[in-house]
Structure 1
């Protein structure tokens, strides 16, 4: 169980994240300052700096939290489940837990594509998640560290999620992210099932 202090810190992170998204949607990333985000979240500039290095990090916080949850879920899957089905089942569990993303998530994805500073940070984070995921797959499957399979599986999974999220933000009329992700993972899984 989290302490009261940890819950308050998490509430501050989420408030800064929501403020960053709202202000960026309203005014555009280039017109939003760290000070404005801090003011909107009712914290000081220094408090903002205690939680995030830059406004781009505050924007991407929710994305990082979802990916951390996905990693935790994958790590807790039954050990006899093969890696690719475990990855897919982890995504399904995450989608059930968080539900269909709200429009802010789609707006955040469009912002990332439109602003190189956000996109660079997002891609760097996804690369970190991919490395962590490859290590989890290596451990799960009892493979030697130099085996390419875990890196290939992790890379294929993360790339497919990235492509699916881009397709989801661009679609008209909109469909659920779960349906779009499954469609993309079905196509990719032909090599892993």
Structure 2
């Protein structure tokens, strides 16, 4: 990625993170696009160059993370077992970016409570579904390339992609359910391990 593309990706990430923080703090209707831009240190016009709405800005973080996951999966060692590679790619993408380090989340329990409200916002749910659908296709393509399956003819890569999204969604939901007490990374690792083991019955 060149310098220009990297700067654009950083601006996009900063805007999305600012939108998420404002939503957690004030609710979806409690702020304007201008405040997102100000929090990210750019102009409202710059915001409009990246996103068409607050909802798109908020959910783009989820979409970008999943698309990076697909790219990371393609870069994993070819001899690494598939489910180990999937878990490794997912965990790599949960590392905090510079925008998070510059503007960290507050108390974990308070943050989780705000995120629980955010993800139930009707205006956002459709955007999250669209993001998942777009990412599923990329993940399936990465799985097909890794496993030598046919993206058009075989069920397998699509089923794996759907399972990946289910693990990610469930891990994040469990993190929020426990008010941040269980790190999302821990649930991700456990989720992929359980899927790889065939979801054995709990002891």
Give the TM-score normalised by structure 1: 0.82
User: Is the 8 Å Cα contact of residues 16 and 37 (structure 1) preserved in structure 2?
Assistant: yes
User: Could you tell me how far 1:55 is from its partner in structure 2?
Assistant: 0.6
Change (3 A) 1:92 1:114: closer
* Alpha-carbon separation, structure 1, partners of 2:11 and 2:91: 28
- Answer yes or no: is the 8 Å Cα contact 1:111–1:118 preserved in 2: no
- Which one scores higher on RCO, CA 8 angstroms, separation ≥ 6? 2
Contact 1:112–1:119 under 8 Å retained in 2? no
RMSD of aligned Cα (Å): 2.8
Structure 2 CA distance, aligned partners of 1:42 and 1:88? 34
Q: Give the secondary structure class of the aligned counterpart of 1:31.
A: coil
Name the residue aligned to 1:182. 189
Do the aligned residues in 2 keep the contact of 1:20 with 1:55 (CA within 8 Å)? yes
Answer yes or no: is 1:75 the counterpart of 2:74: yes
Structure 1 residues 34 and 162, CA, compared in 2 at 3 Å: closer, same or farther?
Answer: same
**Given the two structures, how large is their TM-score scaled by the length of structure 2?**
0.78
Pairwise mapping of residues 84-123 of structure 1 onto structure 2 (< 5 A)?
84-95=83-94, 97-98=95-96, 103=105, 106=112, 109-123=115-129
| Cα deviation, residue 106, structure 1 | 4.2
**Is the CA contact 1:21–1:59 (under 8 Å) kept in the aligned structure 2?**
yes
* Residue ranges of structure 2 left out of the alignment (5+ in a row): none
Q: Any idea what SS the aligned residue of 1:30 has?
A: coil
User: What are the ranges of 5 or more consecutive residues in structure 1 without an aligned counterpart?
Assistant: none
| Structure 2 match to 1:15 | 14
